[in-house]
Structure 1
Amino acid sequence: MAVVEISPGICGFITKVTVKKINKRVVEVNIETDCPNIKKVAGDIKSIDVYKELFCKLHETNIYKTLIKGMAHPTCLVPLGILKGVEVAADLALPKDATINVHS
């Protein structure tokens, strides 16, 4: 299982993603979010075929195609955070925090 907490920045809408491995190819995704845009489509992401999702281009993933309907900004970190959770839950990566630091 993987739990990913996504703090996307200035919008302040926290998203928590829990990903559970069902078998070698399939994970179950649960998304809890404060974001009203992501909330509208989060329920459409339930079961993910790991290999179809992780071995294609970002814009071709079902996660991205589903979330783009609700995302307010193309720089939203939620799709990437979910994909990272899928990768860890499927035992294709070790859990490790990833960060983006923005300075001006």
Structure 2
Amino acid sequence: MADMKITAEVTAGVCKFKTVIQAESDGEGKVELKITSLCPQCKRMEKTITAADPYAELFGAGDNEGESVYEKAQRLAVHKTCPVPLGILKAIEAAAGLALPVSASIEMSKGE
């Protein structure tokens, strides 16, 4: 696993709240996380989601010591369609060297 420090910025839909996720591999199989958000719901994740086992989060293997990112987000009342939990997972994946640090997006438009 390559040691890598990743910063991901997520601006969620209509609310426009910005969340910054810093993820860094500790070199021993875990990824340390620092989440900073202006969203009241996502702000709850700042102290709750501080580290993760990338293999447990992404593949259901390894040791995540309890709840996954999505389970924690749900328990903390983060809206189900909020893109922040996915942004956290993308940052974990890139910091662990399991994916390239490339941006992802969802573009919405009204039908005619």
TM-score by length of 2: 0.83
* Corresponding position: 1:94 with 2:100: yes
Unaligned runs of 5+ in 1: none
Runs of 4+ residues deviating >4 angstroms: none
Deviation at residue 8 of structure 1 after TM alignment: 1.0
Deviation at residue 41 of structure 1 after TM alignment: 3.1
Q: What is the percent sequence identity of the aligned residues?
A: 37
TM-score by length of 1: 0.89
What code does the residue aligned with 1:68 have? Q
Supply the distance in 2 between the matched residues of 1:61 and 1:17 (Cα, whole angstroms).
19
Structure 2 CA distance for partners of 1:75 and 1:64, relative to 1, 3 Å = same
Partner of 1:11: 15
After superposition, the CA RMSD in angstroms is 1.6
Partner of 2:79: 73
What code does the residue aligned with 1:11 have? C
Partner of 1:54: 58
Bigger Rg over Cα: 2
C-alpha deviations, 1:42-82, integer Å up to 9, x for none? Answer: 211112111111103xxx96111111123442110011000
C-alpha deviations, 1:12-69, integer Å up to 9, x for none? Answer: 111000001102410101000000011123211112111111103xxx9611111112
Partner of 1:42: 46
